[in-house]
Amino acid sequence: MSSEAPFFPTELACLCKMQSFGSCRVRILLCVILINVLFFNVFSIYQLSHSKTNWARIHGPFYALAFFPRSCKELRLPDKPLTRTALVGFPGSGTTWLRYLIQQATGLMTGSMQVDSHLKSSFPGEGINNSSMLVVRTRDYRREHIASWEKAVILLRNPYDSILIEYYRRVMTTPIIGEKLLAKLKRGWQRYVRKQPLAWFRLNLEWLQHFQGALFVIHYEKLKAKPVEEMKRLFHFLGQHVTDHDLNCMLKNSYNYLKMKPRVTNVTSHFSRSLQAEINRYRARLYRVLSDARNKKKWTRP
Cα 295 to the center of its chain, rounded Å: 32
Query: CA 150, CA 86: separation in Å to the nearest integer?
Result: 8
Query: CA 225, CA 90: separation in Å to the nearest integer?
Result: 20
DSSP letter string, 143-154? HHHHTT-SEEEE
**Half-sphere exposure in the Cβ direction for 127 (13 Å, CA):** 9
Paired sense of beta strands 111-112 and 136-138, if any: parallel
Q: Report how far apart, in Å, the C-alpha atoms of 95 and of each of 70, 202, 219 are.
A: 18, 17, 11
Domain boundaries, the chain: 63-295
pTM (two decimals): 0.73
Give me the pLDDT at residue 293, please. Answer: 77
Which amino acid would we find at residue 219?
Answer: H
Backbone angles phi, psi at 110, to 5 degrees: -115, 145
Per-residue pLDDT of the chain (302 residues; tens, 9 = 90+): 444 433 334 443 443 444 455 566 767 777 767 776 565 555 444 444 444 434 333 333 333 334 455 678 899 999 999 999 999 999 999 999 999 999 999 999 999 998 888 888 889 999 999 999 999 999 999 999 999 999 999 999 999 999 988 888 777 665 544 556 556 667 788 889 999 999 999 999 999 999 999 999 999 999 999 999 999 999 999 999 999 999 999 998 887 665 555 566 678 888 999 999 999 999 999 999 998 877 665 555 44
Spatial contact of 122 and 160, defined as CB atoms under 8 Å apart: no
Give me the pLDDT at residue 274, please. Answer: 94
Q: Number of helices and strands (H, E) in the chain?
A: 13, 5
Give me the pLDDT at residue 205, please. Answer: 97
* C-alpha gyration radius of the chain: 24
C-alpha angle with apex 99: 93 to 105, nearest 5 degrees? 135
C-alpha angle with apex 179: 173 to 183, nearest 5 degrees? 75
149-188 per-residue burial string, b: 16 or more CB within 10 A, e: under 16: bebbbbbbbbbbbbbbbbbbeebbeeebbeeebeeebeee
In 3D space, the residue among 39, 235, 14 whose CA is nearest the CA of residue 135 turns out to be: 235
Residue 73 buriedness (CB in 10 A; 0-12 / 13-18 / 19+): middle
One-letter-per-residue 3-state SS of 69-88: CCCCCCCECCCCCCCCEEEE
What superfamily in CATH does domain 63-295 come from?
P-loop containing nucleotide triphosphate hydrolases (3.40.50.300)
The residue count for the chain: 302
Which amino acid would we find at residue 207?
Answer: W
